Amino acid sequence: MDSSTLIRFTLNGQPASARIKSYFTVVDLLQSLHLYGARESCGQGLCGCCTVLLDGVAVSGCLTLAQLVGGRSLTTVESLDQSGILSPVQQAFIDEGAFQCGFCTPGFVLMVHQLLERNADPTDDEIRDHLAGNLCRCAAYPEIIRATKSAAARMRAAATA
């Protein structure tokens, strides 16, 4: 038997629903909705390419059953520029050249948003600790750390403006 279930949830602030198989992960769910920002690479929770926020908390989409999203709020990288303007973190990644191929970037950007929500002025070590579970095959790590600090500075400036 291979049946499907209907789930209702909040996707990037909007009500959403989808038909899913019991074994779908959040990455499968998002692909069925044509959202490709979270992508599966390692499939084991190690690399962070599939990062999403579930009720505001960062998790690996590849290790999260889609069924668990029912009734909850799911946020993906696609939420960040909904106003038509890139988020300060996205802009900082572009300005600092914090990627080459860009495959890992949505995951890093969401993780950096999470970090800066809790810590407005992280040290290099705090940034490294927080991003230890995100891998960049293009090795843009120095630029990613610079972008994180630059985004933090922009967000602090905006908060006091």
Partner 1 sequence: MRDFELVRPSSLAEAIALLDTEDGGVRAFSGGTGLMLMMKTGVFTPTSLVRLDGIEPEHAAIGIDDDGSLRIGALATLSTVEHSPIVQKVAPLIPEAMKRLANVRVRNAARIGGNLAHGDPHMDLPPVLAALHASVRAVGPDGERTIAVEDLFAGYYETVLGRGELLTQVIVPSQAGWASVYHKCTTRSADDWPALGVAVSLRVVDGVIADSRLMVSAATEKLTRLVTAEAQLKGAETKAETFARAADAAVAEAETIDDARGSAEYKSSLLHVYVRRALRDALSRGALQ
Ligand X SMILES: Cc1cc2nc3c(=O)[nH]c(=O)nc-3n(C[C@H](O)[C@H](O)[C@H](O)COP(=O)(O)OP(=O)(O)OC[C@H]3O[C@@H](n4cnc5c(N)ncnc54)[C@H](O)[C@@H]3O)c2cc1C
- CA dist 121 and 36 (Å) reads 31
- Residue 123 sits in the site that holds partner 1 (CB under 8 A): no
- Residue 45 sits in the site that holds ligand X (CB under 6 A): yes
Confirm if 61 and 51 have CB atoms less than 8 A apart. yes
Q: Which stretch binds ligand FES (CB under 6 A): 12-20, 82-90, 103-111, 117-125?
A: 103-111
- Which has the closest alpha carbon to 77: 156, 68, 99, 23? 99
Judging by DSSP bridges, how do beta strands 14-21 and 73-75 pair with one another?
unpaired
- Residue 151 sits in the site that holds ligand FES (CB under 6 A): no
- Residue 136 sits in the site that holds ligand FES (CB under 6 A): yes
Shortest Å distance, C-beta 116 to ligand X: 23
- Residue 43 sits in the site that holds ligand X (CB under 6 A): no
Q: Which is nearer to ligand X, 60 or 75 (CB)?
A: 60
**52 phi, psi to nearest 5 deg:** -140, 170
x-or-dash pattern for partner 1, window 46-65, by CB under 8 A?
x-x--x-----xxxx-xxxx
- Which of partner 1, ligand FES, ligand X, none sits in contact with 41, Cβ below 5 to 8 A by type? ligand FES
- Residue 76 sits in the site that holds partner 1 (CB under 8 A): no
Q: Is 61 left (phi over 0), alpha (psi -120 to 50) or beta?
A: alpha
Judging by DSSP bridges, how do beta strands 14-21 and 51-54 pair with one another?
unpaired
DSSP 95: H
Q: Which residues bind ligand X (CB under 6 A)?
A: 44-46
